[in-house]
């Protein structure tokens, strides 16, 4: 028995000296200066320092769920974050995840700032929240050339990389071959065993929004987005076509407005529909920010939303609740999408593999608000 306690104390002393998790951490969200260590957390939880270290470092195979919850609750209460500078020296990890926003050359020429895009900010916010919870920080870069992405993948001192708006499949394979760390992305066409790729059912999304309009009596339904050469938007356009086909509604080329799915593109489409006094009574599009632009453009042209024009967005961003009227939208559950990709990436960083598939597809649904009127 004495030998057990002696061995335990020796091990805890070793961990305290060499595992930087036991160095004083930072306590965020508290006004006082915090010097909490893992020993303090262990004392509060009534467990050993080794157990706390295992919970923080994700080595929980021998730690009960009850104990994990107790330790994590104390960490959450005190806002404890391990000393990552010291930890990176001891385990050769930077505890930094790189986020790359791949810009389209057309957007670069237009001077588009992707950080103003609500979808991008929502996605990055969800990713960063998940990383912070797991003791990681983020570095964010926007690039316009695939060669720049390769350079980052080779030379960036990060433990993993998340790519928003991935490159075309044939180039993505080259990017993965250049990577020196795990890579995660969203809505990529490439199926690769080393790529963590979280998608959503894009065709179903626009099928649901178009079908929703049809069920409310609309048959002159416009589609707004320059979908050509964009695999994700093409899938959504196919969903629009399928809903019309199934309900024996001919596709009218005049109802397809190939404007960028941005706020500015939406204003142009909405204004054109209104000023031309088009027979269109409903519009579906591929982004909430575009739908908001459509509503504003239609209003500028003298239309009332939804009396004269019904509109459905896509993404179900928080701002849908603050428009007038509140915007009906297709939800692809962006926070869940971000959390899933981030969790799988961290699992691969820690263990070298993932316990489930690297590829996952999330379902979509309509969130009904006030921007659609029934013609019945």
pLDDT per residue of the chain (376 residues) written in tens, 0 to 9 = 444 444 444 444 444 444 444 444 445 444 444 567 888 888 999 999 888 888 877 677 788 888 988 988 888 888 776 665 555 545 567 788 989 887 766 666 666 666 778 888 899 999 999 998 888 889 888 877 666 777 777 777 889 999 887 766 667 777 777 777 888 999 887 777 778 999 999 999 999 999 999 999 999 999 999 999 888 999 999 999 999 999 999 999 999 999 999 999 999 999 999 999 999 999 999 999 999 999 999 999 999 999 999 999 999 999 999 999 999 999 999 999 999 999 999 999 888 877 677 888 899 999 999 999 999 9
- The residues, ordered by sequence, that sit 6+ positions from 263 with a Cβ below 8 Å of its Cβ are 289, 290, 292, 293, 296
Q: Can you give the CATH number for the domain in which 129 is found?
A: 3.40.50.2300
Q: How many domains does the chain have?
A: 3
Residues 136, 175: one domain?
yes
In a domain, residue 367? The reply is no
Enumerate the β-bridge partners of residue 143. Answer: 102
Strands 256-257 and 282-285: unpaired
Tell me, what's the pLDDT at 22? 42
Residues 292, 314: one domain?
yes
3-state SS of the chain: helix, strand, coil percent to 5?
Answer: 50, 15, 35
The parent domain of residue 128 ranges over 96-198+335-356
* Nearest alpha carbon to residue 230 among 361, 106, 126: 106
| Final residue belonging to a domain, choices 65, 91, 117 | 91
In a domain, residue 363? The reply is no
Tell me, what's the pLDDT at 16? 43
| Final residue belonging to a domain, choices 91, 107, 126 | 91
| Final residue belonging to a domain, choices 46, 67, 91 | 91
Tell me, what's the pLDDT at 14? 44
Residues 206, 325: one domain?
yes
Cis peptide before 306 (omega within 30 of 0): yes
Residues 47, 110: one domain?
no
Distance between CA 100 and CA 149 in Å, rounded?
Answer: 8
Q: Cα dist. 152→61, 140, 156, 191 in Å?
A: 34, 11, 5, 22
Tell me, what's the pLDDT at 88? 52
Residues 240, 290: one domain?
yes
Residues 85, 102: one domain?
no
Residues 103, 171: one domain?
yes
């Amino acid at each position: 028995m004495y030998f057990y306690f002696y061995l335990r104390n020796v091990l805890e002393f070793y961990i305290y000296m060499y595992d930087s998790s036991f160095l004083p951490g930072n306590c965020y969200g508290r006004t006082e200066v915090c010097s909490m260590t893992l020993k303090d957390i262990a004392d509060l939880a009534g467990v050993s320092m080794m157990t706390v270290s295992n919970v923080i470092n994700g080595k929980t195979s021998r730690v009960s769920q009850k104990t994990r919850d107790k330790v994590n609750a104390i960490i959450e209460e005190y806002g404890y974050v391990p000393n990552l500078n010291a930890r990176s020296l001891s385990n050769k990890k930077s505890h930094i995840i790189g986020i790359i926003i791949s810009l389209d050359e057309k957007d670069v020429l237009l001077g588009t700032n992707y950080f103003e895009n609500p979808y991008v900010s929502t996605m990055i916010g969800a990713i960063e929240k998940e990383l912070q919870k797991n003791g990681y920080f983020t570095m964010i870069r926007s690039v316009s050339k695939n060669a720049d992405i390769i350079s980052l993948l080779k030379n960036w001192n990060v433990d993993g990389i998340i790519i928003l708006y991935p490159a075309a499949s044939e180039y993505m394979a080259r990017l993965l071959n250049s990577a020196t760390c795990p890579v995660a992305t969203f809505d990529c066409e490439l199926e690769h065993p080393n790529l963590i790729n979280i998608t959503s059912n894009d065709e179903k999304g626009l099928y649901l929004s178009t079908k929703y309009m049809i069920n409310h009596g609309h048959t002159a339904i416009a589609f707004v987005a320059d979908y050509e050469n964009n695999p994700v938007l093409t899938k959504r356009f196919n969903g629009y076509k399928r809903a019309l086909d199934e309900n024996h509604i001919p596709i009218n080329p005049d109802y397809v407005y190939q404007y960028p799915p941005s706020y500015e593109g939406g204003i142009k489409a909405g204004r054109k529909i209104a000023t031309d006094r088009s027979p269109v009574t409903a519009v579906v599009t591929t982004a909430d920010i575009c739908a908001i632009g459509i509503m504003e453009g239609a209003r500028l042209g003298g239309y009332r939303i939804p009396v004269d024009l019904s509109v459905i967005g896509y993404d179900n961003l928080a701002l849908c609740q603050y428009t007038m009227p509140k915007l009906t939208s297709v939800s692809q559950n962006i926070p869940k999408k971000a959390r899933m990709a981030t969790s799988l990436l961290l699992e691969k960083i820690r263990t070298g593999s993932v316990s489930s598939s690297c590829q996952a597809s999330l379902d979509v649904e309509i969130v009904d608000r006030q921007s659609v009127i029934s013609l019945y």
